[in-house]
Amino acid sequence: MADAAPRGFAPVEYQARLRRAQILMAQQDLAGMLLMTEAEVRYFTGFHTLFWQSPTRPWFLFVPANGKPIAVIPEIGAALMRQTWIDDIRCWSSPSPEDDGISLLQELLAPLAQQGGRLGLPMGHETSLRMPLGDYERLITSLPGLWITDATPIIRAMRMVKSEAEIGKLAHICGIGSHGFARLPELAQAGQPLSETFREFRRELLAQGADDVPYLVGGADQGGYHDVISPPSARPLQAGDILMLDTGATYDGYFCDFDRNFAITRADDLSRRAYDTLWRATEAGIEAARPGATCRDLFTAMQTVIAEMDSAGGDVGRLGHGLGMQLTEWPSHAAFDTTVLAENMVLTLEPSLGYGDGRMMVHEENIVIQNGAPRVLTTRAAPELPVI
């Protein structure tokens, strides 16, 4: 097992995040932000639990223009929240369908509403509302003075750029994933049902030190796979299959997200060519990933190589994305995204193409933007399609 990166963050990390948020909030004249998803609550508090798997209870964090965040949470989370740096923790006995935190929020937000304050709420791209829509509408209607503003640009700007401590966790889990893929030739062989390959790979990632493997998808078929988001079938691996596994394993709440391709027993020429094209597209992406370039530049650099074999591009919609507390985060390497790359952004490079008779291939690496060439967190894929 790899040496572990330290767990948690020093209080100074949360203080810095709060300070940065309050600077950005001041620029938008926000009186506060109301957050409610796992990643956002954890980002500002350190509150870390798998209990979010239960959809039953809403959780709220209010980040004020001045002062520390205020947690408005179900009583079941109080003990864990008291272990974080948060002081003001307001609880109710949840579930309580008639009033699941709403009156506590009304009390908290009433002074803002009376002043006609602006409340930031993430409501833009890649966000969702993790509370009942009916409760949200009831809450907002009861606070007519409040102005709701989209806080997505603030959250996005903050979370896109990682701290050194965050990069340490991401590097650690990318290392675990790389060690796991290095062992795949020992775990997978012709005749093994793909579902068993997945099971063995999950167990290996845990043995290597991953806390969890929330994401594992892939495919295998003769001369190439057809789909990149499916659960595994029980079809046995066969000579001539191209096998791909794509994993999002976690360490201390941070994800890796990358894949590897393998040929079983033998590799066909077209798959070899697809592999070579995507390997070079990734190289082009790495080369282009410099501070000051845009996500669109990254997209163009990779797409130019991909076009040697597939001018249409795949149906994946982009060629990589941000990475951190979630499997995918802003930004997107796509023509629409003009985000300027900055030091300490952690990104995936994920070129893909369609080939042959409805086959597709994807490659993926995880990098950190830094001065000069990026740091590649994953052990770079072999330049030629490995044969198992």
Q: Is 203 in the site for a second copy (CB under 8 A)?
A: yes
Stretch near a second copy under the rule CB under 8 A, chosen from 18-26, 259-267, 282-290, 314-322: 314-322
CA-to-CA dists, residue 57 to 68, 107, 206, 256, angstroms? 23, 19, 29, 28
What are the residues facing 375 on neighbouring strands? 368
Binding mask 106-125 for a second copy (x = CB under 8 A): ---------------x-xxx
The smaller minimum CB distance to a second copy, of residues 2 and 291, is found at 2
Nearest distance in Å: CB 255, a second copy: 9
The smaller minimum CB distance to a second copy, of residues 172 and 321, is found at 321
Q: Is 6 in the site for a second copy (CB under 8 A)?
A: no
Q: Is 54 in the site for a second copy (CB under 8 A)?
A: yes
Instruction: Return all residues near 311 (Cβ < 8 A) that are at least 6 apart.
Output: none
Contact 179, 1 (CB under 8 A): no
Q: What residues between 8 and 27 interact with a second copy by CB under 8 A?
A: none
The smaller minimum CB distance to a second copy, of residues 213 and 377, is found at 213
Q: What residues between 29 and 48 interact with a second copy by CB under 8 A?
A: 48
Q: Which of 6, 116, 145, 317 binds a second copy (CB under 8 A)?
A: 317
Q: Is 141 in the site for a second copy (CB under 8 A)?
A: no
Q: Is 312 in the site for a second copy (CB under 8 A)?
A: no
Nearest distance in Å: CB 376, a second copy: 22
The angle that helices 164-187 and 194-208 make with each other, rounded to 10 degrees, is 140
Nearest distance in Å: CB 19, a second copy: 26
Instruction: Return all residues near 225 (Cβ < 8 A) that are at least 6 apart.
Output: 218, 219, 242, 243, 244, 359, 360, 361
* CA distance linking residue 298 with residue 284, whole number of Å: 8
Q: What residues between 240 and 279 interact with a second copy by CB under 8 A?
A: 248
Q: Which of 29, 88, 186, 227 binds a second copy (CB under 8 A)?
A: 227
**Token code pair at residue 172:** 């650690």
* CA distance linking residue 155 with residue 226, whole number of Å: 36
Q: Which of 14, 100, 184, 251 binds a second copy (CB under 8 A)?
A: 100
Reported as half-sphere exposure (CB side, CA atoms, 13 A), residue 141 has a value of 6
Give first-to-last CA distance, the chain, whole Å.
Answer: 24
Q: What residues between 161 and 180 interact with a second copy by CB under 8 A?
A: none
Q: What residues between 320 and 379 interact with a second copy by CB under 8 A?
A: 321, 326-328, 332, 334, 336
Q: Is 127 in the site for a second copy (CB under 8 A)?
A: yes
Q: Are strands 352-355 and 70-74 parallel, antiparallel or unpaired?
A: unpaired
Contact 250, 168 (CB under 8 A): no
Nearest distance in Å: CB 133, a second copy: 4
* CA distance linking residue 32 with residue 63, whole number of Å: 5
- CA gyration radius, the chain: 23
Stretch near a second copy under the rule CB under 8 A, chosen from 15-23, 52-60, 237-245, 368-376: 52-60
If phi > 0 it is left, if psi is from -120 to 50 it is alpha, else beta; for residue 244 that is beta
Q: Is 222 in the site for a second copy (CB under 8 A)?
A: no
Size of the site for a second copy (CB under 8 A): 73
The DSSP code sequence of 138-184 is HHHHT-TTPEEEE-HHHHHHHHHBPPHHHHHHHHHHHHHHHHHHHHH
Stretch near a second copy under the rule CB under 8 A, chosen from 157-165, 166-174, 283-291, 309-317: 309-317
Q: What is the 8-class DSSP label of residue 236?
A: B
The smaller minimum CB distance to a second copy, of residues 27 and 133, is found at 133
Q: What residues between 182 and 201 interact with a second copy by CB under 8 A?
A: 199
